[in-house]
Amino acid sequence: MANNGENPSPDVGGKTVKLKADDGEIFEVEEAVAMELQTVKSFFDDDGVSYDTVVPLLNVSSTALAKVIQYCRRAVELRAKSGDDEGANEKAREEREGLEAELVREESDEGIKELILAANYLNIKDMLSFLCRAVGDRIKNKSVEYVRRFFVLENDFSPEEEERTRNEVAWAFEGVDAD
């Protein structure tokens, strides 16, 4: 690992890593933030890969990558703030939840799916977890038809099969949001 001892804290203009999105746009990020993306971390864990190498992230759009980087940057900051102090921990947790809510609030269905796919590909566990939960919250009161459109699924039940399945749990269809 080159140039290590000089600047240990990443937020003092230390080492950076270059990430390339699917459209070729390059993002330069602090090392600590880049390492939140386990995929990137694994990329550099291989012997002989220099930190100057640009990491190609072929499956991530620049829009999604920008949001991921922004989230991870804030998450790293928050984690640095909380230590052993329970009070600070609690506050950091609340702030992180606020950060997560902010990320998903404005997103369209397509946008949030794109983020999930990105978080999955980049292997960011916490982000993927809250994104899945956010989608769960979005769809839990929705109709079957809405869910099919959201997940791009064909209804492969015959009309009789579908009717029978619906009748099994007729009560579960009460109070569903209108599409």
Partner 1 sequence: MAMFKELPEDLVTQILLWLPVVSLLRFKCVCKSWYALITHQNFITKHLLQKKKNNNNRSNTQLLLKLRDLRWNYVVYTLDYETLQVSLTQSLPPLFSFGDYEEGGIYVVGSCNGLVCLHGNSIYEFNVVIWNPATKETKVVPESNVPPLACIGFGFDAKTNDYKIINIRFLFHPHSNSRNYPYQNYSYQKAVYSLNADSWRIVDWEHRRVHFLTDDYKGPMTYVNGVASWRVLGDGYDWGGVLSFDMSDEVFLETPLPDVVMRNRDPNFWEELFLLNESIAMAVSSHSEDWSNVCFDIWLLLEVGVKDSWTKLFTIGPGIPRPLGFWKNGTMFLENVNGLVLYDPSTKEMTDL
Q: Does 155 bind partner 1 (CB under 8 A)?
A: yes
Stretch near partner 1 under the rule CB under 8 A, chosen from 32-40, 49-57, 87-95, 114-122: 114-122
Q: At what angle do helices 125-139 and 144-151 cross, to 10 degrees?
A: 140
CB burial of 106-131 (b: ≥16 within 10 Å; e: otherwise) equals ebeeeebbbbbbbbbbbebeebbebb
- Using CB under 8 A, which of 35, 66, 99, 139 touches partner 1? 139
Return the residue of 48, 152, 159, 160 that touches partner 1, per CB under 8 A: 152
Which positions from 4 through 63 interact with partner 1, judged by CB under 8 A? 61
* Near partner 1 in 92-111, by CB under 8 A: 110
C-alpha–C-alpha distance, residues 9 and 13, integer Å: 8
CB 55 within 8 A of CB 16: no
142: helix, strand or coil: coil
Minimal distance, residue 62 CB to partner 1, in Å: 12
The verdict on 172 binding partner 1 (CB under 8 A) reads: yes
Q: What are phi and psi of 122, to 5 degrees?
A: -85, -5
With CB under 8 A as the contact rule, the residue among 82, 117, 123, 126 that binds partner 1 is 117
Query: CA nearest 73: which of 55, 105, 99?
Result: 99
- Give residues in contact with partner 1 (CB under 8 A): 61, 110, 113-114, 116-117, 120, 128-129, 132-133, 135-137, 139-141, 144, 147-148, 151-157, 162, 165-166, 168-169, 171-173, 176
